[in-house]
Structure 1
Amino acid sequence: MNQLHRSVAPTCLLLLGFLAHGLMSHPAAQGQDGFQPMFTDAELSGWVRTNTPEETWRFEDGVLYCTGKPIGEIRTAKMYQNFVMELEWRHLVPRGNAGIFVWADDITARGVPFHRGIEVQVLENAYGNTKSHTTHGDIFPIHGATMTPINGRGGSRAFPTENLSKPSPQWNHYRIECRDGEVSLAVNGTVVTRGKDCVPRKGYICLESEGGVVEYRNVRIKELPGGDVPADQVAIADRGYQSLYTGLNLDGWEASDASQWKVKDWVLGFEATGGTTGTLTTTRSFDDASFVIDVRLKETDSNVVIQPGGNLQIDLADPAYAIHLEKPSRWNRIEVVTKDGKRVLNLNGQPVAASGADGAVSGKLVLTASGPVDFANLYVAE
C-alpha cells in the first residue's frame, strides 16, 4: 500500500501541476490570439468618462451596463489606428439606441453630446428600418468625420447587405475591423457593412449612451500593425478635459436661483425671460485652467457673460465677440486655453483678442445668463 501511495503521489502532483498551470495561464491563453479585454474592473480602467457620470455606467460580473442617461459617451484612454474589436451587446428595452464610435476625438463636438468619428450603429430592431437607417449595423461618419460608404444610398451612410441583428433581449455579436481608413462590421458572424476613405483614421474608441438601456460583454480588442498617419487624418488627442456637468443634476454648481436652471439631459438650460439674469458658479476654484463651453442663445436679446477666473470677462454682447457668433438658436463654442499663465480665446474656431486675458488665471468659473440660453459640453482642464 505504501508503495502504491509512493507511485500515485507523484502522478497526482504532476496532474495538479498541469491543472494549476492551465488555470493560471488561462488569461494568457486568451491573449494568444492577440485579443485583450477592454473592461476589467468596476473603475473602468482604461476608459475616460467624457460627458457621462459614474451613474451611467456599471461593470459587474463581466457585463458593462449603461442606463442610457444622460446622452453622452465614454472613450478609451488610448488612441487606436488599426485594430479588430469584438463584443456582444443587447438592448434591454425595445427601440433602444446606442452606438460604438471609432477613430474619435478626445471630447464631444460643438453643440452635440457625441464625438466626431465613425459610428457603428447599435439599434434595437423595434426602432424600425427606413430608407435613411436600419437596425442591423449601419456605419456612418458623424459631426465632421468623413467616409465613403460601400453599399450606400446616395449619402455617407453605409448600409448592411443583410439583416442579421436579433431583437431585445437577445445578445448580438459585433466584429469591427478598422484598417488603414477602412472599416467593416460583421453581425453575428457575417460581414454586412463596410466603408472606406475614413477621416480620421486614428483616434479613440467610444461607447455611446443614447437613451437605450444596453449591456455589453466580452468586449475585447486586437491591435494590428499600422504605418504613419498624416496629421490631418488623426483625431484630436487628449487635452485633459473633464466634464463639469453631469447631465443628471447641478452637482458641482451653485445657482443664484436654482428654479431658473433646468437640467435637460445633456443640455443645461436657463429659462428665465423678460430680461431676468441668473448666475451659475462652480463650487470649486481652478488654477491655470482651460475651458470649453458651448452656448446657444435662443433669442436675439439672449446673452451670456463668462468669467473663467482672474480678470477675463467674456461678454458675448461685446461686438468683439458678437461678430463671431452664430445666429440665435445655433450652438457656439467658446474655448479658453491657458498656457504658461496666459490665455488664448477662440470663439467658433476664430481667435479673439480679449482684454483681461493676461494676469491671474485662478478662480471659479461663473456663467451669467439673461434671456433663454442653453449650455452644453462644459469642460475644464487643469
Structure 2
Amino acid sequence: MRRSMSGRGRWLWAWLPLGVAWVGCRAVGPGASEAEPGFVSLFDGRSLEGWQVVDGPPDGYVVEDGLLVCTERGGKLYTTRQYGNFILRFEFRLPEGANNGVAIRAPLGDDPAYVGMEIQILEETAALKGKWGPLRPAQFHGSVYDVVPARQGALRPPGQWNTEEIHVEGRQIRVRVNDQTVLEADLNDVRDPEVIRRHPGIFRERGHIGFLGHGDRVEFRNIRLKGLPDGPAGRTEGFTALFNGRDLTGWRGWVDPRKWAKMSAEERVVARSEADREMQRNWRVENGVLVYRGKGYDNLCTRGEYGDFELVCEWKIGPHSDSGVYLRGVPQVQIWDPYTPPVEGGREVGSGGLYNNQRHASRPLTRADRPVGEWNRFRVVMVGDRVHVFLNDQLVVRDTVLENYWDRGRPVPARGPIELQAHTTPVWFRELWIREIPTR
C-alpha cells in the first residue's frame, strides 16, 4: 500500500563508496545500538537535516523525543542524497492499521512505487482483518510493492518496536524483519510484461531513500546506512556483451529492409557483401571504443536477433552529431546534440525519444543529455512493442509504443537486430550489453 534510521552519542566517520567524500553523522536517539562498522546515521534525533519533504505538508514528518515521526498528515520524506547499492537498517513502530513504505532508488517526482521501488510497510493484523480489502501477495509488509511478495508473519504486534534491514545490491534485494528473512528477490526474475510496463523503477541504478506516509502515524528510530560499491554498467547479472572491445566480431553492415524485401536471393548476397565492406571501411575500434568515421548512412547491425530485452550502452557525440539506436531493426531511440547552436529541428528536446513515432509520444520526458563530448548511458527495456528508456539514469521514455517506421500498418517485429545508426557524423559507442527477458 503506497501510503514509506543510530548508535550512541558519538561522531562516526565512514567512507561511502558512492562517489561522495567523507560523511560525518552523529548517532543518537532512543533505542540506538552500538555502531556497526561502515554504517552511518541518517537521522540525528534532533532535526530533519539530510532529508527533504516532497509532496506533503511541512508537518507531515516531525521529530519527537528523538524519534522520526510520520504524522497523520503524511507525505513523502526523502534523503537529499542518492544511493545505488546499500544496506539500510532501522527500527519502526506501527499502531494497528498503519500503512507506510520505504522508497529505494527513487526519483523525487511521481509515484516511487513505480518510477522507483517501494518496500512495503503495513501492519498485518488490520490487513488480515480486511481493512484494505483483498490484498495481492506483493502488497504485504516487506514486499517490493506489487512486484515481488514477501513472507508474512515476522512483524511484532501493533505498538511494539520492529527491526528491519533492506539490502540492495545490483538486482538483488533482501529484506529482514526482526532477524527473519522475509524477501530474497532477484529483479531479473521479473518477467510479467504487465509488471515490467507498470514498474520501470525496477531498472533504476540509484535514487533517493524515503518514507512514504499515507495518513497514519508511524515512528522510526536508529536509521543508519552502509554504502556498497556501485556495480559495472552491465557486465554481470545475466547480461552478455554485444561488443568485445577489440574488433567487429558479431556485427555486420546494414541493408535497408525495404529494399531487402524486394531483392532476389542473388541480389541479397551482393547487397550483404557491399554492406559488410562499407562497415569495415567506416566503423573501427579505437582504444576499445566503437567509432563511426564515415560520411554516409552505414548502420552497424548485430548478427543476433532479440525479442524482449534490456539493453545497456554508452555513447558520446561531437557538435551537431546525429545518431540513434534501432530496436529490433526499427528506428529509433534518438541521439543528437541539444546544446550546440543553432539548436533546431527538434534537437532542443534532447536524446532518448522514439524519434520516428507519429501516433505515440516521440519526445523524451526530460532532457538528460550530458555536455557534448562526454559519455552518456542508455538503459533501454523493450517488452512487446513497449519501451522504457533511461538516459543517465533519468527516465526519458516510459511505457511507450515503438511504431514500425518501415510499415506503419504493422507492429514492430517480434525479433530483430540491435543497430547503431550512422548519420554522416562521428559517434562513439562502448559498454554494449544485452539481457534477454524470457516473457513469452
Task: Give the TM-score band, short-chain normalised.
Answer: 0.3 to 0.5
TM-score of the superposed pair, with normalisation by structure 1: 0.46
Structure having the higher strand fraction is: 1
